[in-house]
Amino acid sequence: MSDTAGYKRVLLKISGEALLGDRSHGIDPKIIGRLAEEIATVRARGIALGVVVGGGNIFRGIEVARSGGNRVTGDQMGMLATVMNALSLRDALMARGLSCSVFSGIPVPSVCDTFNQRDAQAAFDRGDVVVFAGGTGNPFFTTDSGAALRAAEMGCDALLKGTQVDGVYSADPKISSDATRYDRLSYGEVLERDLRVMDTAAVAIARDNGIPIVVFSILEAGSLVDVAGGGGLATVVA
């Protein structure tokens, strides 16, 4: 991945499930703590960092629709779950001496700022770790789409997608023993092969704005630091 070296500003997308650790529900303080330590290391190396965190460890809005409920209500509940995760990450970062701002796409002004590009850009410029919650603020869009959108709005050099595996495979490597791992893919290949790196809208936003998507395992200690520095084991979609 030497051709990815030299990142100045990155957007990290992590799923809510990545915060579970050994738990079946909620947030594992050990996982949040490790992520905060790695983010601190990335910042100490002069790389500006934004974070989008999902809410699947608390609530998944799509499950409401699958059970016959109102999809819009379910998605709104899921957005609020991401706010809870963002606040937890903020506190872990601040406990380590980092300046951190939280912006939500869905207005919850009593707990964090409502997102607008100008204020979020100012937070980046003053050196904050900027945590984006609430997805896009709209139903029917995933946090993947929200991450790609924020990466474009913030002028990020790369979108780092932290997953439970070390890259993109032709099939689920946890199920298929003959799944092929890719080192590099084009946006078109991801869409044509339906590889499910991120949802279609997210890939299209990254493609249209020339933002590489770097898929790596967030479960491996130190992986974020390696990937943010242009190294590590990952699949690059560009």
Q: With a cut of 50, say whether residue 184 has pLDDT above it.
A: yes
Q: With a cut of 50, say whether residue 1 has pLDDT above it.
A: no
Fold of 2-237: Carbamate kinase (3.40.1160)
Q: With a cut of 60, say whether residue 4 has pLDDT above it.
A: no
pLDDT of residue 177: 85
Q: With a cut of 80, say whether residue 6 has pLDDT above it.
A: no
Contact assessment for residue 11 and residue 158, using Cβ atoms and an 8 Å cutoff: yes
Break the chain into its structural domains and give their ranges. 2-237
- Total number of residues shown for the chain: 238
Q: Could you tell me where the beta strands, DSSP code E, fall in 47-90?
A: 48-53
Pairwise pLDDT comparison (145 vs 63), residue with the higher score: 145
Q: How many helices and strands, by DSSP H and E, does the chain display?
A: 8, 11
Tokens 């869009």 found at: 141
pLDDT of residue 100: 98
- Assign 3-class secondary structure to 206-218: HHHCCCCEEEEEC
Cβ count within 10 A of residue 29: 12
DSSP-derived 3-state class of residue 182: strand
